[in-house]
Structure 1
Amino acid sequence: MLKPAHTLISCALLALMNPAYSATYVKAEKMLDVSSGKLVNDVVVSINDGVITNIDKRLPDVLNADDEVIDLGNKTLLPGLMDMHVHLTSDPRVPRSDRFTQSAPRKAIKAAYYANQTLLAGFTTLRNVGATGYSVIALRDGINAGDVPGPRIWAAGPSLGVTGGHCDNNRVPPELDYRAEGVADGPWAVRAKVRENIKYGANVIKFCATGGVFSKGTKVGVQQYSQEEMNALVDEAHMRGLTVAAHAHGTSGIKAAIVAGVDSVEHVSFIDDEGIKLAKKYGTWLSMDIYNTEYTLTYGEQNGVAEENLNKERQVSKRQRESFSRAVDAGLNMVFGTDAAIYPHGDNAKQFSRMVEYGMTPLQAIQSATINAAQLLKAQDTLGQIKANYAADIIAVDGNPLEDVSVLENVDFVMKAGQVYKNVD
């Protein structure tokens, strides 16, 4: 991981020849190499123009007057964390019936606030898997333009689903003749809806393969889209170069989504032995939100969650955690996904300790939110590691996360693309 000192010296010589050149140096006592799982002592990370240029053990002998040195003392550095399943427009404290009254611009403003909260918690990259009105796509573009602070976002448009399914809105009377934006029935209709999402800026596609916990009138384990519809949907998205995430709690829906070629399956509550074999065969990534059940069952009633939905959460929670343990034991591809919005944004890192409790090592849990997530996003050459030529997405914590992964719940320093958003006091 460490590179020869001559690279840093070359940077220093460049600074002498070019006064406009400036670099940032981040010093810390330790750094976790998430690829090898080793802690590296006494590191200096060199950064220029938002990209890591080198990692060494000392500062260069000559510094430009405009260079910046950030000395984090005895902190431990890690790559910026990545959550692959969030919904930035939603707040668990707002009843779902009330959310229907919020406009897309209002939701975009809420999303901007929650994106910043999540960034300050150490998550520099997110995958937002579904939002109405293309609101999070607008936020993503605003972040990229520098209008507002926030993580990198891979954003789906409205989630695709069948009429009356989990991705529809079943809380309105029939005389209103309302369907959610992402509803599409039949192979050609789902292709058209994928094309529409891409037209308006989606860079990931999300669909509902089964019922869900928080929808009205759906059975959480029952398959919704047919195999033919899923095949068409995934084919269309992949033809256009986008990855696909499938919401799937139920056994048959999980397997149908895997066979259709989805890149990731979300929730994965009732996976069986055949599903595990299929996930292994296809190399499918699993994103399993095993923390948020605690929030829902503790605060759901006071937050206005209907008894129907609380009952479904009770059915799912234990089985999902058992499935998580089986997936870990089987060595399946797994990424960090929390379903933030079911619990308050910014608490994403609380899931790490549950992942360890249910079978992962601390390193595996951290890898799920760094190098694994980067692979799912097909960004493994630029994100997910503290390494030369990678984006300068860096966080710092006290202690050793390999001994106590819960230290990630208290991030002291956050840098994204070389810009500091949170610094030690």
Structure 2
Amino acid sequence: MLKLKHSLLCIALLLPTAHAETIIHAGKLFTAEDETLHEKMSIVLDGNTIVDIKKGFIDAGDDDTVIDLSEHTVLPGLMDMHVHLSFQHEGPATYIKRFTQSNADNALSAAYYARKTLKAGFTTVRNLGDSQNETIALRNAISAGIADGPRIYTTGKSIATTGGHADPTNGMRADLQGDPGPKEGVVDGVVEARKAVRQRYKDGADLIKITATGGVLSVAKSGQNPQFMTDELDAIVSTAKDYDMTVAVHAHGEEGMRRAILAGVDSIEHGTYMSASVMELMKERGTYYVPTILAGDFVAKKAEIQGFFPDIVRPKAAAIGPLIQDTFARAYAAGVRIAFGTDSGVSPHGENAQEFALMVEAGMPEAEALISATRTTAELLKISDTLGTISKGKLADIIAVEGDPLKDITVMESVAFVMKDGRVFHSPD
């Protein structure tokens, strides 16, 4: 009898034990693998990984957890390729904060805006410029599980030329300007350009961001002049590639865009004065376009308010802002690869999804707009093997909205459920 019990115990130890899974019942499912909206689907998770997707609402085992989203549309976690988490434009006082706020203040602001961004359904972002590497620290804190927010890919401080957009001393009186250099993200010449990239690598940045032309909100006259020479751009791109870093490029003017694309950068941000020839060059070189229509819409409206922007900024905002949506429409019609991005921080954080309506208004179908913020953004980040679609083997970044976004894209502005890396951060009341 003892031998029999021992044998049964040995068999029991060899048999597979019951394994608890999480099952999401999705009323509608947009996987982003294609433009189809599937009805009544089940997504099976093992920890933070999608292990199966089945038709119908499958039964759960005794130890399984069911998340009922049967009245919702379920989608992959959204990705915004252009945010500034430690900054939010709030009118005239914004320009004073660089003198009154410390890096600790910026870091706390970034943590607050990161939570808002995640709750809005954006589980991954590219942070394209901060003040003192506060978003590198925030990225590390989120990765370590001691702060909540989206998965962050950050450039740290952007790279500019002396007096260029992202020179942090623009607008200061002479005795305060000093002479910022590569460490502060200000370069002149090939040697300093290479050093600035290497400094970003040393700081722990994920990618490089340069300001190839003038900008709207910087306290400087031009919003579109080219601000890097071709040898400087070549040095930045070749050095970045040595460190396996991509290069994102702020650019409004045509010549600055052309120089950057020919140098081999990965994405053009804003692209306001993009010509048909530049669009063809982007297609030829595989350069992504991150439109940030929402930022253009925001600054154009605020330019109508006397005193909201400094006098040197207001005409740039009034002229450039209204053009971005038209540029987007032409770029989409031309077949340029478009990755979703908002420049949130210029507009309020947490309102990122308003970009979808502006994209659809300009002629992009709803399904393509959603793919631009999921599958295409994952391709730009080179993380398609783990994120971007709801597919077997990928990480469980999953959101849900009420209604049908293929019929009314504005439902994306009110996200009811957010899961990042298998953990639920927001759920229906």
TM-score of the superposed pair, with normalisation by structure 2: 0.92
CA distance in 2, matches of 1:305, 1:64: 60
Aligned ranges for residues 156-175 of structure 1 at < 5 Å? 156-169=155-168, 170-175=170-175
Shift of 1:61: 5.2
CA distance in 2, matches of 1:47, 1:285: 32
Matched residue type, 1:264: S
Structure 1 stretches of 5 or more lacking a match?
Answer: 1-13
Residue number in structure 1 paired with 2:32: 34
Cα deviation digits, residues 9-60 of structure 1 (max 9, x gap): xxxxx9x8235x4221111111013121111111111111211111113566
Q: Does the 8 Å contact 1:120/1:346 carry over to 2?
A: yes
Is the counterpart of residue 78 in structure 1 residue 82 in structure 2? no
Residue number in structure 2 paired with 1:247: 250
Residue number in structure 1 paired with 2:5: none
Shift of 1:320: 2.1
Cα deviation digits, residues 68-117 of structure 1 (max 9, x gap): 11011220100010000000010111422323321112101100000000
Residue number in structure 1 paired with 2:94: 95
Structure 2 stretches of 5 or more lacking a match?
Answer: 1-12
Matched residue type, 2:52: N
Is the counterpart of residue 391 in structure 1 residue 389 in structure 2? no
User: What is the RMSD computed on CA atoms of the aligned residues?
Assistant: 1.7
CA distance in 1, matches of 2:359, 2:250: 20
Secondary structure of the residue that 1:110 maps to in structure 2? helix
- Change over 3 Å in CA distance of 1:276–1:48 after alignment to 2: same
Matched residue type, 1:241: D
Q: Does the 8 Å contact 1:46/1:55 carry over to 2?
A: yes
2:261 counterpart (258, 262, 277): 258
Residue number in structure 1 paired with 2:110: 111
Secondary structure of the residue that 1:390 maps to in structure 2? coil
Shift of 1:347: 0.2
CA distance in 2, matches of 1:60, 1:38: 21
Matched residue type, 1:174: A
Q: Does the 8 Å contact 1:165/1:218 carry over to 2?
A: no
1:231 counterpart (231, 234, 254): 234
**Larger gyration radius, structure 1 or structure 2:** 2
Matched residue type, 1:399: G
**Comparing 139-148 and 55-64, the one that deviates more:** 55-64
Q: Does the 8 Å contact 1:166/1:218 carry over to 2?
A: no
Shift of 1:403: 1.2
1:219 counterpart (213, 218, 222): 222
Is the counterpart of residue 365 in structure 1 residue 369 in structure 2? yes
Cα deviation digits, residues 282-302 of structure 1 (max 9, x gap): 010001111223333434647
1:402 counterpart (397, 406, 421): 406
Residue number in structure 2 paired with 1:203: 206
Q: Does the 8 Å contact 1:395/1:414 carry over to 2?
A: yes
**Comparing 47-56 and 175-184, the one that deviates more:** 175-184
- Change over 3 Å in CA distance of 1:214–1:224 after alignment to 2: same
Secondary structure of the residue that 2:149 maps to in structure 1? coil
CA distance in 2, matches of 1:115, 1:90: 11
Is the counterpart of residue 315 in structure 1 residue 319 in structure 2? yes
Among all aligned residue pairs of Structure 1 and Structure 2, give the percentage whose two residues are the same amino acid.
41
Matched residue type, 1:319: L
Secondary structure of the residue that 1:230 maps to in structure 2? helix
Q: Does the 8 Å contact 1:210/1:221 carry over to 2?
A: yes
Secondary structure of the residue that 2:358 maps to in structure 1? helix
- Change over 3 Å in CA distance of 1:385–1:303 after alignment to 2: farther
**Comparing 318-327 and 245-254, the one that deviates more:** 318-327
Shift of 1:177: 3.7
Shift of 1:64: 4.4
Residue number in structure 2 paired with 1:267: 270
Residue number in structure 2 paired with 1:17: 16
1:47 counterpart (34, 45, 48): 45
TM-score of the superposed pair, with normalisation by structure 1: 0.93
Aligned ranges for residues 116-127 of structure 1 at < 5 Å? 116-127=115-126
Residue number in structure 2 paired with 1:305: 309
Shift of 1:303: 7.8
Cα deviation digits, residues 160-218 of structure 1 (max 9, x gap): 01011101021211112435511011111111110011111100110010000001124
